[in-house]
């Protein structure tokens, strides 16, 4: 059993830290221009919407039923909406804001994405941990699939942070931290939650996270991607993000 626990923690750590590969992709471009930022932020929105509706909410519905899953989903939306409402921020188009204001919004958005993905990675860590304890081959398969779709998630975090701060170190750090949530989730499961982690609780948690990520995508990522005056690249970025995430999820099957 101890051997399986150690293997589960190793697999979960490797899967979570694959976000750093996506982060490196986001740091390749030295001076991101409006077209690059529009596509990249749209891509981030597509990633978050696809993983929320196709993986998290769907998995929750299968686990706890349509009504409870949607209750968790809209609870997540309401919670993040209230947080957003009580921490108001000025919104104006890309061309109407100073460079400092644009950078502040990009940084805030990047940190929100990191938070959403980090919360989403937490139950994934639990799933990888539990799957490995049940069957080593199952755990490896889950970890590989999670690692694949964590790569675009890393890009989703690093690109806006880098554009706002022009710091590769900060962009890499936040992407790294969003991935660390995965082994942290496994560690918490191993130490505290394993006896109490029921399918119902996990299903509600997955739906709740899906609601948070969808709100961030629609409220932050899509409007900002279009604010660069690149409407077609923005929507192409959304479609590309959805396509790549759907491919990575298909490889999980």
Domain range holding 49? Answer: 2-252
User: Exposed, middle or buried by CB within 10 Å (0-12, 13-18, 19+), for 67?
Assistant: exposed
Q: Is 41 left (phi over 0), alpha (psi -120 to 50) or beta?
A: alpha
pTM tops 0.95, yes or no:
no
Length of the chain: 253
pLDDT band, very low/low/confident/very high, at 161 (cuts 50, 70, 90): confident
pLDDT band, very low/low/confident/very high, at 178 (cuts 50, 70, 90): confident
Contact in structure between 242 and 46 (CB atoms under 8 Å): yes
Find where tokens 């790549």 sit: 244
Using alpha carbons, select from 33, 97, 35, 29 the residue that is nearest to residue 231: 35
Average pLDDT over every residue of 34-44: 80
Interval 66-105: pLDDT, tens: 999 999 999 989 988 887 777 554 433 444 445 556 667 7
Distances (CA, A) of 140 to 14, 117, 175, 197: 11, 21, 23, 21
Contact in structure between 221 and 37 (CB atoms under 8 Å): no
User: Which pair of tokens denotes residue 97?
Assistant: 């804001």
User: Which pair of tokens denotes residue 103?
Assistant: 């950078």
Q: How many domains does the chain have?
A: 1
């Amino acid at each position: 059993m101890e051997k399986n626990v150690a293997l589960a923690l190793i697999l979960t750590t490797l899967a979570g830290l694959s976000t750093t590969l996506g982060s490196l992709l986001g740091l390749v471009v030295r001076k991101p221009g409006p077209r690059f930022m529009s596509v990249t932020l749209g891509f981030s929105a597509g990633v978050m919407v696809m993983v929320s509706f196709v993986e998290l909410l769907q998995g929750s519905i299968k686990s706890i039923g349509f009504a409870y899953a949607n209750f968790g989903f809209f609870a997540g939306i309401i919670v993040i909406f209230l947080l957003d409402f009580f921490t108001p921020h000025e919104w104006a188009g890309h061309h109407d804001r100073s460079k400092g204001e644009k950078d502040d919004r990009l940084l805030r958005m990047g940190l929100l994405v990191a938070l959403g993905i980090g919360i989403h990675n937490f139950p994934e860590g639990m799933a990888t941990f539990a799957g490995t304890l049940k069957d080593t081959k199952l755990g490896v398969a889950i970890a590989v699939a999670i690692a694949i779709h964590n790569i675009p998630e890393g890009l989703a975090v690093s690109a806006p942070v880098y554009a706002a701060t022009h710091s590769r170190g900060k962009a890499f750090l936040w992407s790294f931290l969003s991935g660390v949530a995965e082994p942290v989730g496994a560690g918490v499961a191993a130490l505290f939650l394993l006896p109490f982690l029921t399918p119902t609780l996990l299903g509600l948690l997955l739906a709740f996270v899906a609601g948070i990520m969808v709100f961030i995508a629609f409220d932050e990522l899509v409007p900002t991607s279009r604010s660069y005056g690149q409407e077609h690249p923005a929507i192409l970025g959304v479609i590309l993000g959805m396509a790549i995430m759907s491919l990575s999820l298909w490889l999980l099957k």
